[in-house]
């Protein structure tokens, strides 16, 4: 008796997932890249702010030396892995496809 109910519930959930999958707009997942990257910078624990700043400058200079990079924005003290003097995020933007 219970098994039948759970089987109907399961089939209902699977049916809803299939329905929503077919209705998901294609623009939700882009066909090509959108022209930006996200780089997580994580130095060893205990690394100083000046060492993180130097690493960020090296990363920024490297990214700007690449032909496809337009600009780089750096955020120090915060990353996807946490906050601290040893963390940072870089947001390089790429030039338009016609310029790459």
Q: CATH number of the domain at 54, please.
A: 3.30.70.1430
Band of pLDDT at residue 84, cut at 50, 70 and 90: very high
Position 47 scores a pLDDT of 94
- pLDDT above 70 covers what percent of the chain? 94
Domain of 94? 2-99
Q: What is the pLDDT of residues 54-64, one digit of tens each?
A: 999 999 999 99
HEC string for the chain: CHHHHHHHHHHHHHHHHHHHHHHCCHHHCCCCCCCECCEEEECCCCCCHHHHHHHHHHHHHHHHHCCCEEEEEEEEEEECCEEEEEEEEEEEEECCHHHC
User: What is the reported pLDDT for 41?
Assistant: 94
pLDDT digits (tens, 9 = 90+) for 11-20: 999 999 999 8
**Overall number of domains in the chain:** 1
């Amino acid at each position: 008796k219970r098994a039948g109910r759970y089987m109907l519930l399961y089939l209902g959930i699977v049916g809803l997932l299939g329905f929503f999958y077919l209705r998901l707009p294609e623009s939700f997942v882009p066909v090509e890249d959108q022209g930006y990257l996200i780089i997580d910078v994580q130095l060893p624990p205990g690394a100083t702010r000046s060492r993180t700043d130097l690493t960020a400058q090296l990363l920024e200079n490297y990214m700007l030396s690449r032909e496809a990079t337009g600009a780089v924005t750096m955020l120090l003290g915060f990353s996807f892995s946490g906050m601290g003097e040893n963390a940072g995020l870089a947001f390089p933007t790429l030039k338009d496809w016609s310029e790459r």
